[in-house]
A and B are shown apart, each in its own frame.
Chain A
């Protein structure tokens, strides 16, 4: 599903900063992988590269068998929109849209007919336990509920890879457990979940762990 070979990302200076160096690992469908490391180690840079939000300056990144280095911007956008789902530390729910419209938002960019979107968004919200808050405004939701809306939005288009950046960073322990349970359930036979975290509790839930230290990313032995 994901195959990184000696991937690096260097930001031009001065001073030049090598935020990611020689990252080499794979993520297969049906597994949950945690990317751990201290603050400033390069975790977010790695996630941006994995999410096609940023381009590596060296190495090869294959996503679903496609060499992403050969793609033009529109192709990257299309691949990102159809293959990947994002959950961020902040839920980034759009304040002026209700839950259903927030979750349906990615579908508008993917050419899904307008009449089919509410059904898909509702199914996604129900799958994260928010079937009763379809038309709630974000300002009436708790932090945990907002993050679940974000997860519903990330899976509404059935992505093959779910990329989560500190998804429980703003949550209390109860909501953290609920969100982790949810993420575990989203790991299916044809989908992988990648979670960037600095919390051991989250890493423990993952089947495999990739550690990032000073920009070097390598899988830890199981």
Chain B
């Protein structure tokens, strides 16, 4: 076969206008052969990239899964509880105010409560006493607080109106007083006054307001010796923020701003906060891992340039232009990054799934990450290859061929 430039020369001088050009596909094939042919070095570089990408994917995935789990476990009690505290000196009547609150949209239960000073309480007028926290509360407040009745009954309206000498005890207080059953109508004594225990309740876990509490009917609050009243409001899920804006007006229309309303943290904001804080931390770690991977690729590619000077010189001597050399080495580092990114994505997904399933969390992974991992590897690899590729292209053929 006669090659094109020989055909042209048959009748005269050489064609100096002819251009030499290496097609991108040829450069890609040469790059792939170089990566494949230098297996150990390529494998180590790929492992570095894979580690960086796996860290990035894994941390993003685990963070998302963990945030989901935090959301699930977020204290559902607090997320639907609103409290409104009256200022000192303003009486909170037991009737209309609480009724107003209960009529608000999204309110499941509401009641008034107040706290007194601790009291020494005994089973008889003169014997041994235990120190208990004195409270006065409407039964609706206890229910809104998600206390559950263990024995006996809640107060009824008559207990308060008549000023009956009755109390309720929380489980811990009853235990301290040695009251195991209400069948015999046990009495407790406070300052020589006898009170009938009508009910024993259990406060929710991790809630301390009614721990070791002896509770009087709410009307006792109005007689003095107790702190300002507080309304405890239980809302439907998601309604707390809205109810919080309305509860003060419902309780005290004359001066709603004087009440102090406490709302739970907004769930979505809370979740976002947790997620963004943990993601920021882990993304920082992932960025460092990627930087290390990029330095690894850059270093390996640069060492390859130094080692392959004769090959570069030979390619230049046989027609490769500077840009052809640049493109080949960029392709090489890009391939290393792409393969490393793909393996890293698989490892990162596995790590996320393993960690989440091990903790019984729902595995949450953005599908974009699955495509993003290899792309990120490709980008990191290509960027890391720029300097070595330019260094290779700058080599003079004579200098490159002298290195043998």
Contact = CB atoms under 8 A, between A and B. Distances in A.
Q: Are these two chains actual partners, yes or no?
A: yes
Nearest to A117: B26
Given A65-B13, A95-B37, A80 B317 contact: yes
Q: A interface, how many residues as a size bin? A: 35 or more
Contacts of A89: 404
Contacts of A74: 19-20, 321
B319 interface: yes
Contacts of B318: 81, 86, 105-106, 109, 153
Contacts of B264: none
B13 A81 contact: no
A54 interface: yes
Interface stretch (B231-239, B308-316, B372-380): B308-316
A109 B14 contact: no
Interface of B: 1-6, 9, 13-23, 25-26, 30, 33-34, 36-38, 310-311, 313-321, 324, 397-398, 401, 404
Nearest to A88: B401
Interface in A66-101: 66, 71, 74-75, 77-83, 86, 88-90, 92, 94-97, 101
Given A53-B317, A95-B37, A111 B20 contact: yes
Contact of A82 (B5, B311, B316): B5
Given A53-B317, A74-B20, A109 B324 contact: yes
A67 to B, nearest CB: 10
B120 to A, nearest CB: 90
A109 B320 contact: yes
Contacts of A110: 3, 5, 20, 319
B397 A66 contact: no
Contact of B14 (A66, A94, A153): A66
Contacts of B13: 64-66
A53 B400 CA distance: 11
Contacts of B15: 82
Contacts of A71: 16
A158 B3 contact: yes
B22 A108 contact: yes
A51 interface: yes
Nearest to A101: B33
Given A109-B20, A111-B21, A94 B311 contact: yes
Contacts of B316: 77
A96 B37 contact: yes
A148 interface: no
Contacts of B401: 53, 88, 92
A120 interface: yes
A106 B16 contact: no
A51 B317 contact: yes
Q: In this complex, which of A83, A94, A116, A157 has the most chain B Cβ atoms within 10 angstroms of its Cβ?
A: A94
